[in-house]
Structure 1
């Protein structure tokens, strides 16, 4: 566990205040990248506990599709060979009122070098049926919807 995980609860209100002032509503993306063995890409951040689907915020003037392609490259070094497919959209009000998360799936990519340094502690590929115990609840739910046919929950 890094120092960033301990600091994040204290910096979160400042980040949220800044986001609200500059964005009004916030929009993020998460990627379900699936390799040829059916494994799903997960990342462990330096500032959040547990394993997450790669992703992040959508920048001003950027499409959600461009954002998820950018985030995959930054966080995991994946380079999309085809357009990611929209899977679902969720409200993230439980974590931050006004926030929304768009989920995409990508099966066609090349592997390259990560461009983000210091944000991602670890990258791993996991079977959807054998995820790490500390996988984020929302990410686990999205994977159950995609791979197990669970009903889609509109909330993250």
Structure 2
């Protein structure tokens, strides 16, 4: 009976408190620039990444998203920078943020179909107009000395 009760509680908990998890990465080129994307379905410039599928390990999701959106194939394991709460965007959402330095990836054919409107290699100290708040904060943390926040993009 306790096994049934435990299973029911676990099922209720998952339904009542679903969590979403995503990955993003600062992919760096030889010049120290960072790769950004503009999606066709959202406004602003983002670092490449996306959602982790059910049963998919985070690194596999990152590998998949980098090939899809950036044409970047990891050849070494990236460094996890931090895990961020993204609750302002979606309740109980979290983002794992990685740094992918030059030399840890190689070019590949981007496989995204219609999802990416534009891509750019940008100076992290001078991101383009329209960069999202969360992306700007991550760039300032990695390259400008801003302390790491627990929030992807806190409400302002």
TM-score by length of 1: 0.84
- State the alpha-carbon separation in 2 of the partners of residues 29 and 64 from structure 1: 7
SS in 2 for 1:70: helix
2:38 to 36, 41, 44: 44
Q: Which moved more, 1:80-89 or 1:23-32?
A: 23-32
Quote the RMSD (CA, aligned, Å). 1.4
> What are structure 1's unaligned runs of at least 5 residues?
1-19
What do residues 96-123 of structure 1 show as CA deviations (whole Å, max 9, x unaligned)? Answer: 1100001011121111211111100111
- State the alpha-carbon separation in 2 of the partners of residues 144 and 65 from structure 1: 24
1:120 to 116, 121, 141: 116
What do residues 86-144 of structure 1 show as CA deviations (whole Å, max 9, x unaligned)? Answer: 00110001011100001011121111211111100111100101110110000110111
1:134 to 117, 127, 130: 130
1:96 is aligned to 2:83: no
- Partner residue in 1 for 2:143: 147
Greater Rg over alpha carbons, structure: 2
Q: State the 4+ residue runs in structure 1 displaced beyond 6 angstroms.
A: none
TM-score by length of 2: 0.84
- Partner residue in 2 for 1:16: none
1:71 is aligned to 2:68: no
